[in-house]
Each structure stands twice: as C-alpha cells, then as structure tokens.
Structure 1
C-alpha cells in the first residue's frame, strides 16, 4: 500500500468499511471516499497531487482502483478480460458466418452484423463491472460567503424598471425552501454578510436596509481574506453594482481570496441624470482671477437641454457668503461630459469652501439629486509675506515696486538701500582708537551708531523694528530665513561676503525662498556674479560675451512659455494682451547674456528697433525648493512713466511677479489634509522646522478638527513618522458629510510655540456613492477573472447552485458509482437487438 505503521492500519480499516458498504473519511487527506454495496472493492491508492490553490494546498488521498482511471471511468472486474475477449471474438465470427449466405443486400448485412455484435459487446461490458467516479464538495465541510451591498446607491431605478435595484436584490435574496440558498446549504456552510461603509454579519437577508453612505468593496474583501485565512472557504458570492467608493485606483491585492462570483445588480445607467464627475481648483498669480475652479459634469438624457452650473462661496454657517457665478452649457449627446470653468478673486484669505452645483433649467426629474453638487477647498495663503529688497543705489525701481505692492495687503516689502559705498579708512587727528568720522562727535544719538569709513552706508526701510537689518544684509540663517523672497537690484557681487553667498544658496534650495535679480549696471555679468554661489543659481549664463553692442529702443514681447503662464500675462484674452504689448513703451537698458541654462524658461524677449535678434528679458527656473528669476531689463520703471494706464499695468505686473516669486514658499509649520482614495477620510500630516529650517523631531504637535457644519471641535493627536524627521501624522475619519477645518499647533521640547497653520477638506458621502450610476461591470469581471470565479446574474443563481458543488473547493469527496447495471446501458443493448431483429424480419430472413 505504500505507507507504514498506523497509516497501514487506518487504510486497512477504511478498505474493510468500504467492502461492507458506506463511506469512510481517510485521515491523511481531505477527501471522503465512498463505494456502493454489492460492488467489488478495490485497493486504495494515494497521490500527493495538489488540487487546491494556496493557502488550501494540502495532501489529498484519492480512493480509486488499482487499474488506471480513464476520464472518471474504470473497470472493476479485469480478471474477466480474456474470457470476455474470447467470447466477443467467437460471437463476431458466428454472427458473420450466419449472415454470410443470407440473401440480402451487403449494406443491410453489415448493419445487422454491427447491431448484433454491439449488443453482445454491451452485455459483455457489464461483466467488466464499469465504475464511475465523481469528485464534489463534501457536504458541510466548506464555507461559502454570501455578501450583499446595502449602500444607498442601490436605491436607483434602471431605465424602464418598475422597481429599484435594491428591490431586485431583496427579491433575489429572499429565503425559499426550494431556492438556490437552500440548495447551497445542503453542501456548504453559508455565511451571510452585508457591507456598505463596514462589513456586518447577518443571520438572513430578509430585512435589508439600503442606507449605507459608502461601498467599501476593497475593505470588505481584505476583511474576508483575514477572517477566513487558513479555513476551507469555497468562494464568495458578491451581490453589488460594482460602484466601489474605495477602488478609484483599481483592485487591491487579491492574495488569500477564494474564487469570487460577483452577481451584477443593475442593468445600466438611468434615463436621465446630472452628476458631478470631478471638481478641481487651482491658483495662479494672475491678479484679476487668482482662483480657477474646473467642474466636469456628466449629463445623461439631457441632450439639447440647458444645464446651469452655479459657483458659491460658503461662510461658516454653510450659507452663501458672496455673489454667485452661473454658466450655461447644452449637451450635444445623450451621454455627454460638460466642462465648466469659473474664475474668482475672493476678498479674504485662509481656508475657503466653494460649492459647485448643477441643474437642468426646465427642472425635469432626475435619477437622484444627491450627486448634483460638490464642495471644493481653496487655501488662500495668509500673509504678510516678507520680501527683502537689496539695492546698490536709490533708484526708480524701488519707488514703483513699493507703490505697486502697497495695494497688496499680503506682501510686505522691506528695503535695504545703499546710499554710499565703502570709503578708504583715514586716520584723523582725533581721539586715540576713534575710527568713526569726527564730524559725528557731539551728536549723542545712541539709537544710531556713527557710520564707519570701511562700511557702506545703508538705509533700512519698512523694517519690523529697530533691530531688523541693523547690521546690514543678514549673515545668519535665523534672520535671512524669516523672509520669503529676496530681490537684488543693481548691486555688485562683492557687496556680499562668501558666507552670505552660501547662505543665499541655502535660502533658495533648502528654505524654498524666491530670488529675483533685476537688471542694472552692477547686476549679472557686470556685477561680477560669475562663479559665485548667487550667480550659479541664476537661470542665465554669465560668461563673457566679448564686444557687446549697446541696444536701444527695445520692444518687449512674450514667448510661447510666457503666454502659457498666467502671472506673465495681464489680460485674460489674447487680443487684449497683444494690444497691451503693442502700446508698451520702449526700453533702453538690457543686461545681455549668452543664453539661458538648461531647464530654464524664457518668459519674455526684447529686440532692438530694426533688428530681429531676440534677447532674453525675463528668464525663470526652479533651484532646489525655490524659484529664481532674472529680469534683465535695467529700466523696467520706464514702463510706468508713459501714462496712467501704463502705470497701472506696470503695478499689476510687479504684483503678479512677486506673487509668483513667493508662491509655494514653505512655512516653518506646514499642515496638509490628504483625502483617502474614497474621499471620505483624511490623512493629516504636519511638517515642523525651526528658524534655520532644520527638521524638528521632538516637537509636540496637537490638532484640532472642527466640523464647520456641525459646530463641534475634536482634538486629534499627531504622532511622529519614522520616514521623515520633521513629519507628524494622524488620521481622521468623519462620520458625517460636511466641511472640516483643522488647525495644527507645534511646540518645541521646552513648550515654546513654534507656529500654527490651518487647512481643510470637505467630505460628501453621497457624491462618492453616486459618482457613477451605471454598474461597474468591467471591475466585477476583472475581480472574477483574477480569483478564478465568474460573473453571474440573478437568473443564473439556480444553475450556479447546482454547479458549485462540482467545482474546485478546499474539501471534497469522491463518490464511486457502478455503471454496469444502469438502465441506459441495457436499453442500448436491447435497442441494438430489436433493431437487428426488425431489419432481419423485414427482409424475410429467419
């Protein structure tokens, strides 16, 4: 038998029980073998062939005859082979001899011989005792999970349907004594569940309530895989429309899952519906419309009808806080995707909530109105942003820049202007050790120290207090990193020490600050910035050009990249922008360079009158985490002297350029609320850095989440992350639809406040649930194919209940049935003899 010890005894006992009739379970495997009484028992042969996919692979013992099986058919009485073969040959010879001289047609003779020989062969076949085997699920040994989707999305009506999808599902799941569930219960342990936002166990499906605000199919599958790990689970029958709120990125890992048999609930999209497919927001430095909101609306059954989209800014009470905007579009197809584009300039900063809603003008009935609106969050950064302007001389540029930024309350301009360069140090006949000019002696102004001859004379403008920039340009990170951007105007490289050069590079690359250099007689190459840390950051090459021809009457124009950047344009249409450029004054000063560096973008160029050669005028690129720009014109201020309209355009250009310069500049405390894949929860992350913008890994971070619509505040604790030293994270799962505002506060180890920030997000369970109204059949087909199951409909459940016990399951049994005394075999033999007799009598043969 191929096994020893106790295994031999168990096998012998099993054989003895089978000989006496009945069924026995062999301990070494997971298959039960049976043999009908009265048939000849054969030895048992084991195989180790794996029948089941992981994790249910195990050794399987098959109960079979020692003779080989041929397609589940084997012969039990093989000792009769030679006698029966002799009888068959003899019978063939006798029948052939009997018809040899019969006076009939050759064709009829052959038919009669074949029929009689076939009948004899069938009778002889019974003496071989043919047996059939069938492998099927062992009754009660395997579990089968039935899972029903109870989300509110199933309350929809399909086109032309008399009842909802939920009613169809409830009818299919109704318990009947002779139904498909009863048939499956004969062979499997049925486990019933419902799922929407979570998975719940059920005794039956008789009283389902379809009110769930989500369809978390991915979480449901992962939970079932963990719950039945290592258990004999034959499959999962999944009743759903496939519109999962947590599978926007596709199916999750299906490891550990048995075959899944999705039953599609629903037929197709409804006859008529409007739904918000996607709503996004973006911000630019374009002054007239800094916020752009894009809304994609799917219109089904609304062809030729006017669809109105409305944009509203909400206040803390959820009511409209400002004037609304409306746009109308008309679908041209029965299933059309409409794109609405709104531009808005909110009067306030901070975290803002906009609501976009759509409706058909005639007010006709839709499948649902729960997906007709969506709330989007816009974060308008709050200032003031501090910009440090450093100039080598008092000039017109600072005057116009200051006036332009005076209209922007979010930007504060701090000036450091040199009015005199370093002077040689003389020795006066004054007091010993006195290095200052004796002319200052006698003026007892302790708040202002007398200037020394070996230092430049600087004027500080718009400083926060008397200590700010007291010692000139910052030479430490604490002071420099307090600014968001630095503008260098007409100032030579020697003004900065080597330490300040390196500090400026860290300010841009590590701090993420902005740097803008303006043209002038001591800027760029003329200021000897070549081969300096500041020069290396500039987006243009500062190589020597050799002989340079002076340029005059320079006309400015935008490049293709400049046209694509909203902060470079001043008009919202191409025609108006071209007219503006044509009316601009001509410039007379340009710092010429060899060209722009790889990766840099030339936003504007100039050309001299009568010369088609284009020279870069405005070039930008990213350096590390910050922006760097080069304004090569040395008399940009000339633009504002032509007329008042030109002056307004120049002021707007300055504001937009500075807004671009400080855009995306990180703060010491950064907080983000990243919604999960189903749009219902939020991962809260806080980044904390000190005054030198170094990561703080021992901060105490507290979060306060406020449900604006509910008026409640919930404290949340943020824990440090292992991946990044400055990152602290928390997860918040809202229970209600609405707007949420989170405020993060960080303190150091000593309890000192490092800073605080706010952000927000909006949760709309209904919008996610009704994102798509048509059943997601491709997703369910993919799910079935990847797990070895198949897609089903309600009409196929009865057939499926009959087929499933014969499919591959973890625990099976093999049933042996005698084939030799089955009625069809004898009826076939009898039919052969009767047909032969009929043909013989018809031809007049005895």
Structure 2
C-alpha cells in the first residue's frame, strides 16, 4: 500500500491558499461569536476551521494505491501468407515461397520449441482473412493478399494474452481488389499506436520475375483529359507496358475500339484495331534489351461518332507467351457531340501560340498549319486533306495571302467554299497579308466573308491603341458573354496596339465589337448554311498576359462553337454516370444520376429506378439513394468479369421522362493476385519501420528467436488499484456534515 498526494496546484500555491483561508477564519470569525459562552464559541470556530481543513484536504487530492502482481501468458503471433502468389517458385532450389516459409520454420524448430516453453507461439495463415492453424501446410490457395485488413483484424482481436510481438512472413504484395481495402501502412500505424506491439517482417520472393518466362502485360491506361471526350478531337492515351523475358523482341502495342454496328442498347460489340489516320498513332512497336522492364507508351486516335464505346490497349501476344489474360486493358469512353475540329493556317505569330492552348480543353481540337513567312512563303505545302468533306468544322485563316492555298494548280479555297456551303465555319484574323491585301477579293470565299474586300482608300492598318468594346447587339450575343459582370470585364481588358481596317459588307452584318471611336473590330454573319466572322485584331494574347486567361479561353471557345453551330447542344433528360468505369473483381462501383425538364432545369424530386445487367444476363435492381439534391447508388456484385450495363428510368409527377439513361462499366478479366506476383520488399520495410523494427531475411528469423530467448519474456504483470480519498461520498458526507453542524449551532444560538 502506498499513500499518494497529487495537489491541484503547485505546493507553494496550495500552502499560500491554506494560510489565507485559515487567517480569514481566525481573524474574522471570532469577532462574530465573541458574545457567546466560551464553549459555544470554541465549537463554532473549530467547526469552521475543520471545514477549511477539509477543503485543503481536497486540494491535495490524496489517494491510496494497492499493487498486486499477476501472471499472464505471453504470446508470439506468427502470420504466414497463404495467398496464391506464395506458389511462385522463386525460392532457393526452385522452392515456392510457401515451401520456403515452411523450411524456415523447420530449420528453426529447436529455437521455436525453446521459446515456446515460456511463450505461446500462435501460427495463423492469412490471405484475405486470418485462419489459425496448428500445423502450417504447403497449400497456398488464398484468393488475394489483404495485409492491411489482416493487421486491422489483429488490432481488434483480444486473445486474453499479452502479445510480445508479431512476425509477418509474406511476399509483401498487397493485392486486395476492393477500393475500400485497408492500406497496410495505415493499418500498421494504427496497430503501433493502439497496441504498441512490434511487427517483424520476413520477406519471401523476389521483385524481379524475368526468369518466369515470356510475359507481356498492359499494367495501366490513362486517357488524358478524362474518359468523356468530344467527337473529331484527337484523344491522347498513355499506357504502361510491362515486358518480362522480352529482351531483343519487337513488341506491338495497339488500340482497339468497339464496333457497335448493328448493336443496340445493352449489347456489346467486337473490339477491332483502329486504322491509322492523320495526326494519330493508334499503334506502335517497342523493343528493349532488358529482361524485365516497364515501358511508357503514347498512343492516340480520333473519335468520329458520338456514343459510348469500349476502348482497349493491347500488347499483341507473342509466340511462347503462356499467360494472355493480362495482355489487354479495356476501358470505356463517352464520345460527346459538340466537340469540334479546327484547321488554323497562320504564320509564326504570338497569337498562334496562345490560340493553341485551346487544345487543352476537352471540346476543341485545333490543328495548326504553319505558313512560312517572307521568301519561304511559296514553299509552304498545304495538304488537301484539310479540305476533305467532314474533316473540319471551322477554318481560321491568319496572316496568310490567298496564293498560298494554290497547290499543284488546285485552288484549295474553292474546296473551302464547298465546305462552307455544307455548313462549316470560317474566321479570318487581322494581318498585313489577308483580307483585301491578301488577294481574297478574287477568290470564291469572298462571298462568304462578312466584310467588304475592296481596298480601302485609307491605310489598311490602324496603328494606334484600340480598346475592344462590345456593341449593344454584341452584349446580347453568345460569343461576347465572357463573365457575369460582362460589360465591366470588357472595359477592363487591355488595349490592342492596332488592327486591320475593315468595314461590314452590308447593313445586315452583325457588328459584335467596335473601338471607342466606332471602328468595327468583330463582325459575324449567317450566310446560307455557313457562319463566318472577321476579326480585325490579332493580339488577344494580351488578355492572357494581363491576367485574363479565363476570359481569353472563354471568348475563343464560344467564338469557335458559334461558328460550328454548336452553342446550343444539349443532353437527354435522364442521365447516369458510373464511377469508376473500369474496376477489378469484387470492387464497388458508384452511380450518380439525375433528370432535367425539357428546358434543361434539374428535377431533384424525380423518382428513379436503377437496374444493372450483369455479364451473365442477370438483372439486379439497385436501391437509389438521395443526399440533398444528389441521387446516387452503389453496386458491389462485381465478381464476374465483363460488361455491366446500368439502366436508369425517371418519372416526375407521374410522367415518364424521356428514354432510360444507360451507362456501362467493365470488370477486368484480371487476376490481381497472379497477374504480377512480384514480391514487394519495400512495403514490408515500411511496415517494419512504422512499428519500430527492421525487415528480416528468412536467414535472420533465427536471430530474432534467439534474441527473444536471451532477453527472456516476462509473464508477470503488475496491476495497480488506486482509491481517491477526496473523490467520493465519504469525503462529501464529512464536509457536508461539518457545514451542517456549524449551521445548526448558529441557528440554535440565534446567529442565523
């Protein structure tokens, strides 16, 4: 037994408080009771002093501690990886990893027995969960490795015994497919913080498997800009290709696109190679001299038709390759209407550099044909393919004279005129060698341009600062709506240093912007099926340089969309999105969906029915959920590889809204555990470091056992019980009794 004191304040302050309280009582209280007889006076003062001493007693917070020694069995946990990757035969003498673990235990059997005299050694097989075992077997049939989940289960487990350590024998590769599987590092950190028990990691296997034979695999696919793309825009794709045992071989990597000809909703089409087209790279060949290497591959293609398609990156199987399921990764893309291709003919001007940034948007593909200036002008070769039917939606002509478009006796501007009659758009920018000065008055496109191409009587160039101000009509036009405070923003934009002198062809031409002194800068017209515009300036890059990047991008996007008749494209009334669109087996997929009325307004109170059609044809109903104005659902029945189709029907106020929305997601035909069974010694090192140990080789396992034997494992536990004398009903009863007794005496003597 031990008496303890834990003052509420430091000792000097407690002593000072005690002196002050006693002084107040002894100085003031006797004067109030001096008329009483001596016995009653002493009794009241004594009761008051006793109450003060009780308060001081509480300030000291005294306690009595009782210590007793208890004995509790100690336990050493040995976790043995039994997942299928442990069947990889990369151990000494061709042993599998699981066989190597058993050999390690067999070699250290004597030390295990010696340690087992004082410590309960518990063997546990694990893959996706823990399975206690008395006799570890050679079988390794666990579906996948979930080290994080196993460590979390270990943290929550209460065996009733004191765990002195954990030994993790594994290849260290976390392969749990579900997105919500616990991260091994975070699980190890939680285990160390809550339990304070070290995890000794013993690594089996190698991270290099080149000796396993030829294996070509696509490991990752990234669609730059996202999986929602626009028609007629080049789609760049990055892939990671892993080559094992392929030294000296040429390997072909290609893109495959789903052919949906004759396929209806809910039906999958055949994947076919994408043919080569201008400015695309749908296939490539790679070669390496290394036996084990991961190579980045860049591919691209142009999506031509709106809709949802399956896209695959494939390493073409090579002779002698046994495992083919990892040669391809499939994903889904949505090709949307509204995307447009723009052909831009320009000399090397600053404006060109900033207009090219439109390619950073998902919606616009701007292909630039650089025209060499000066003496090299006539050497420029413009390909006729630019003017083939349907090749481009909009054409931009910069500071380029008309004669550049005459190639091999063919005037390509005649073909451009044909494209305009079919509905293409045309924009001509200000410059020294275009409009009238560039000889366009005698070409067939003169009839399409909204400006008078007769040579002006004055100088064709205005060389003074000019501020672009929208006209009254321009402020209402789609092209000029660049911000919420639209008119103010236009007045804040920096001035141009000059412009080309232009005038509208007729009074029916829309002048969208002028200078402050009424010089026309931007003119637009609907002529037949075509839309055309003339922009007298070529220095909108100044907006970008002065901090108006968003205005610059929005203006140009809207101008090009308007020229292509795509400013009012809308989607269907019911929509659904699946995320992610490509998952591994048993991984969850989330759906978001919604509905809108015919005017495009959201309908948050719509009612939805959600169904998923599995690859085997079974239809599974999913319960829709709502959070605020958002509607969502989650689907977890993804054990079968293949295409899953999501159907969403919507009703509002008893009426069916449009057609059901469809989306698709893919469950990879992959085996996460065996596609790449390489060991991960780095993860094992991190787990060891987080819990305060270092990773071990199988040969060092015996040293760990010997250290535990030499150090001895204590089974004695000291349990302490502390009784607080100040915090309980006895003390409260004493204090209340003293105060009540004093009050009773004062009452009986007429002092209250």
TM-score bin, normalised by smaller chain = 0.5 to 0.7
* Alpha-carbon spacing, 1:699–1:793, altered in 2? closer, same or farther (3 Å): farther
Q: 1:735 and 2:679 equivalent?
A: no
* Alpha-carbon spacing, 1:349–1:796, altered in 2? closer, same or farther (3 Å): same
Partner of 1:703: 610
How much is the aligned-residue C-alpha RMSD, in angstroms?
5.4
Q: 1:551 and 2:500 equivalent?
A: yes
Partner of 2:332: 377
Deviation at 1:330, TM superposition (A): 0.6
Q: Is contact 1:310–1:358 with CA below 8 Å preserved after alignment? A: yes
Please, which runs of 5 or more residues in structure 2 have no aligned partner? 5-64, 260-266, 276-281, 341-385, 394-424, 428-448, 453-467, 504-531, 719-752
Match of 1:715 among 606, 614, 621: 621
Q: Is contact 2:149–2:184 with CA below 8 Å preserved after alignment? A: no
Give CA-to-partner distance per residue, 1:398-443, whole Å, 9 cap, x none. xxxxxx9xx989x9xxxxxxxxxxxxxxxxxxxxxxxxxxxxxxxx
For residues 335 and 146 of structure 1, the distance between their equivalents in structure 2, rounded to whole angstroms, comes to 33
Match of 2:243 among 284, 299, 304: 299
Deviation at 1:319, TM superposition (A): 4.8
For residues 173 and 664 of structure 1, the distance between their equivalents in structure 2, rounded to whole angstroms, comes to 67
Give the TM-score normalised by the residue count of structure 1.
0.47
- Partner SS for 1:356: strand
Deviation at 1:153, TM superposition (A): 2.6
Matches within 5 A, 1:563-578: none
Deviation at 1:530, TM superposition (A): 6.2
Give CA-to-partner distance per residue, 1:709-755, whole Å, 9 cap, x none. x333322223223xx53142324242233333323334446464476
Match of 2:483 among 521, 536, 561: 536
- Partner SS for 2:672: helix
Q: 1:263 and 2:202 equivalent?
A: yes
Partner of 1:339: 296
Partner of 1:681: 587
For residues 185 and 583 of structure 2, the distance between their equivalents in structure 1, rounded to whole angstroms, comes to 12
For residues 296 and 205 of structure 2, the distance between their equivalents in structure 1, rounded to whole angstroms, comes to 28
For residues 704 and 354 of structure 1, the distance between their equivalents in structure 2, rounded to whole angstroms, comes to 24
Matches within 5 A, 1:277-316: 277-282=219-224, 290-314=234-258
Deviation at 1:308, TM superposition (A): 2.0
Aligned length: 485
Partner of 1:629: 557
For residues 788 and 544 of structure 1, the distance between their equivalents in structure 2, rounded to whole angstroms, comes to 60
Q: Is contact 1:234–1:810 with CA below 8 Å preserved after alignment? A: no
Is the radius of gyration larger for structure 1 or structure 2?
1
Q: 1:793 and 2:744 equivalent?
A: no
* Alpha-carbon spacing, 1:749–1:666, altered in 2? closer, same or farther (3 Å): closer
* Alpha-carbon spacing, 1:300–1:364, altered in 2? closer, same or farther (3 Å): same
Q: Is contact 1:215–1:245 with CA below 8 Å preserved after alignment? A: yes
Partner of 1:68: none
Deviation at 1:317, TM superposition (A): 6.2
Q: Is contact 2:579–2:590 with CA below 8 Å preserved after alignment? A: yes
Deviation at 1:548, TM superposition (A): 9.4
Q: 1:527 and 2:472 equivalent?
A: yes
* Alpha-carbon spacing, 1:526–1:667, altered in 2? closer, same or farther (3 Å): same
* Alpha-carbon spacing, 1:549–1:375, altered in 2? closer, same or farther (3 Å): closer
Deviation at 1:765, TM superposition (A): 6.7
Q: Is contact 1:290–1:345 with CA below 8 Å preserved after alignment? A: yes
Matches within 5 A, 1:435-446: none
Q: Is contact 1:142–1:811 with CA below 8 Å preserved after alignment? A: yes
- Partner SS for 2:483: helix
Matches within 5 A, 1:204-353: 204=134, 206-207=136-137, 209-228=139-158, 232-246=162-176, 251-253=185-187, 254-255=189-190, 256-257=194-195, 258-272=197-211, 273-282=215-224, 290-314=234-258, 319-321=270-272, 326-345=283-302, 349-353=306-310
For residues 701 and 495 of structure 2, the distance between their equivalents in structure 1, rounded to whole angstroms, comes to 86
Give CA-to-partner distance per residue, 1:66-114, whole Å, 9 cap, x none. xxxxxxxxxxxxxxxxxxxxxxxxxxxxxxxxxxxxxxxxxxxxxxxxx
Deviation at 1:199, TM superposition (A): 0.7
For residues 326 and 115 of structure 2, the distance between their equivalents in structure 1, rounded to whole angstroms, comes to 39
Deviation at 1:681, TM superposition (A): 1.0
- Partner SS for 1:251: helix
Match of 2:95 among 163, 175, 181: 163
Deviation at 1:264, TM superposition (A): 0.9
Q: 1:763 and 2:667 equivalent?
A: yes
Deviation at 1:676, TM superposition (A): 9.8
Partner of 2:683: 779
Q: Is contact 2:231–2:338 with CA below 8 Å preserved after alignment? A: no
Partner of 1:562: none
* Alpha-carbon spacing, 1:687–1:795, altered in 2? closer, same or farther (3 Å): same
- Partner SS for 1:252: helix
Partner of 1:132: none
For residues 552 and 450 of structure 2, the distance between their equivalents in structure 1, rounded to whole angstroms, comes to 12
* Alpha-carbon spacing, 1:550–1:756, altered in 2? closer, same or farther (3 Å): same
Give CA-to-partner distance per residue, 1:261-288, whole Å, 9 cap, x none. 2221213311254332311224687765
Q: Is contact 2:207–2:681 with CA below 8 Å preserved after alignment? A: no
For residues 182 and 502 of structure 2, the distance between their equivalents in structure 1, rounded to whole angstroms, comes to 57
Q: Is contact 1:671–1:686 with CA below 8 Å preserved after alignment? A: yes
Deviation at 1:777, TM superposition (A): 1.3
Q: Is contact 1:675–1:682 with CA below 8 Å preserved after alignment? A: no
Deviation at 1:383, TM superposition (A): 9.1
Deviation at 1:797, TM superposition (A): 3.0
Partner of 2:126: 195
Q: Is contact 2:330–2:666 with CA below 8 Å preserved after alignment? A: yes
Deviation at 1:297, TM superposition (A): 0.9
Matches within 5 A, 1:52-131: none
Partner of 1:620: 553
- Partner SS for 1:734: coil
- Partner SS for 2:94: coil
For residues 126 and 564 of structure 2, the distance between their equivalents in structure 1, rounded to whole angstroms, comes to 53
Deviation at 1:334, TM superposition (A): 4.3
Give the TM-score normalised by the residue count of structure 2.
0.52
Deviation at 1:204, TM superposition (A): 3.8
Deviation at 1:218, TM superposition (A): 1.9
For residues 557 and 144 of structure 2, the distance between their equivalents in structure 1, rounded to whole angstroms, comes to 48
For residues 297 and 333 of structure 1, the distance between their equivalents in structure 2, rounded to whole angstroms, comes to 13
Deviation at 1:773, TM superposition (A): 4.3
- Partner SS for 1:218: helix
* Alpha-carbon spacing, 1:808–1:536, altered in 2? closer, same or farther (3 Å): farther
For residues 672 and 563 of structure 2, the distance between their equivalents in structure 1, rounded to whole angstroms, comes to 37
Deviation at 1:535, TM superposition (A): 5.4
Matches within 5 A, 1:509-528: 525-527=470-472
For residues 384 and 267 of structure 1, the distance between their equivalents in structure 2, rounded to whole angstroms, comes to 48
Q: Is contact 1:370–1:770 with CA below 8 Å preserved after alignment? A: no
Deviation at 1:774, TM superposition (A): 3.4
